[in-house]
């Protein structure tokens, strides 16, 4: 199965971001991708954390909830592509809080999975300060979905978002439920990404003997924030199959179920778990 990780440098205009996302998704489809994943905050990286509140949508099975959900459904149908819109702001009962949610659409335009980011990022090194809990409400449940691929294999896919990457128990829970592919749409800061991004991604793939796709924000944004980029596709042995350092683009690689099965057969670590 050919997988695409879409890297963006999203700005403050949702319309412009959706146009860029469409162009990159179309490029992925032309290259033969069957699954394409967009990065965290693909629809907006505003000047303030609260800017995303103005874009919040009511979740309605991903099709009638609002223009971003409609965009994802229509584009998946138009391109015949599985799309992970990873992420958009979904409404909560509290108008001052949203969920940071990844939605999965089939090539028929149907929404088959929703994952709300569970772990909320907070960082303060004296120069950069982030606290997602000021605007976001955390999700509560891990989410997996099944993707029947053109090669006849039914891939079991686990969803996560950005800061979740630092919590290996989430990925192990997915592996215990049969996950073969881990998705990590992200907007890592340049500071933390430079230090930890690659080692964490490769570790999650290795310890769960799973493929991993990590589409990211990568570059200098209109709001002055700089994200690390390095969108990456990793195999179950921890080998980086493809990546892009900075700038908008499409990262492609073939995920081979035979390679997955061989790795798990040769090193059956998942069967050796004690705890």
Domain span including residue 168: 2-272
CATH number where 200 lies: 3.60.110.10
Structure tokens at 73: 């459904």
Q: For residue range 260-272, what is the model confidence (pLDDT) as tens digits? A: 999 999 999 999 9
pLDDT in tens, 101-145: 999 999 999 999 999 999 999 999 988 898 999 999 999 999 999
Q: Which of 43, 52, 111, 117 is catalytic?
A: 117
> 111 catalytic, yes or no?
no
| Strand-pair partners of 147 | 155
Which token pair is 196? 């930890």
Is pLDDT above 70 for 88? Answer: yes
Q: Which of 43, 111, 137, 162 is catalytic?
A: 162
CB 72 within 8 A of CB 41: no
Is 55 within 8 Å of 45 (Cβ atoms)? no
Asked whether the whole model's pTM tops 0.95, one would answer yes
In sequence order, what are the beta bridge partners of 233?
Answer: 213, 242
Give catalytic status of residue 78 as yes or no.
no
Catalytic status, residue 40: yes
| pLDDT-based confidence at residue 65 (cuts at 50, 70, 90) | confident
Does the pLDDT of residue 259 top 70, yes or no? Answer: yes
Q: What DSSP line would sit under 164-184, residue for residue?
A: GGG-HHHHHHHHHTT--EEE-
Q: What is the pLDDT of residues 133-181, one digit of tens each?
A: 999 999 999 999 999 999 999 999 999 999 999 999 999 999 999 999 9
Number of domains in the chain: 1
DSSP letter for 41, please.
Answer: T
- Give the pLDDT of residue 62: 62
């Amino acid at each position: 199965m050919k997988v695409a990780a879409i890297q963006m440098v999203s700005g403050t205009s949702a319309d412009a971001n959706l146009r860029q996302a469409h162009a990159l998704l179309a490029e992925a489809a032309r290259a033969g991708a069957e699954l394409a994943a967009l990065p965290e905050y693909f629809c907006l990286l505003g000047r303030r954390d609260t800017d995303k509140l103005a874009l919040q949508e009511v979740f309605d099975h991903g099709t009638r909830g609002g223009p971003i959900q409609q965009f994802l459904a229509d584009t998946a149908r138009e391109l015949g592509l599985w799309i992970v819109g990873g992420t958009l702001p979904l409404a909560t009962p509290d108008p001052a809080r949203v969920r940071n949610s990844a939605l999965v659409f089939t090539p028929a335009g149907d929404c088959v999975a929703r994952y709300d980011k569970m772990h909320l990022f907070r960082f303060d090194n004296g120069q950069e300060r982030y606290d997602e809990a000021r605007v976001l409400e955390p999700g509560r449940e891990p989410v997996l979905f099944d993707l029947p691929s053109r090669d006849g294999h039914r891939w079991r896919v686990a969803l996560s978002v950005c800061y979740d990457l630092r919590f290996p128990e989430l990925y192990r829970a997915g592996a215990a439920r049969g996950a073969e592919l881990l998705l990590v749409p992200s907007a890592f800061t340049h500071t933390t990404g430079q230090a930890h991004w690659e080692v964490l991604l490769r570790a999650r793939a290795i310890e769960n003997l799973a493929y991993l796709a990590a589409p990211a924000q990568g570059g200098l944004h209109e709001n002055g924030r700089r994200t690390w980029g390095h969108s990456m596709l990793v195999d179950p042995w921890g080998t980086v199959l493809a990546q892009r350092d900075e700038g908008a683009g499409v990262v492609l690689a073939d995920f081979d179920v035979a390679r997955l099965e061989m790795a798990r057969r040769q090193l059956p670590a998942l069967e050796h778990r004690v705890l």
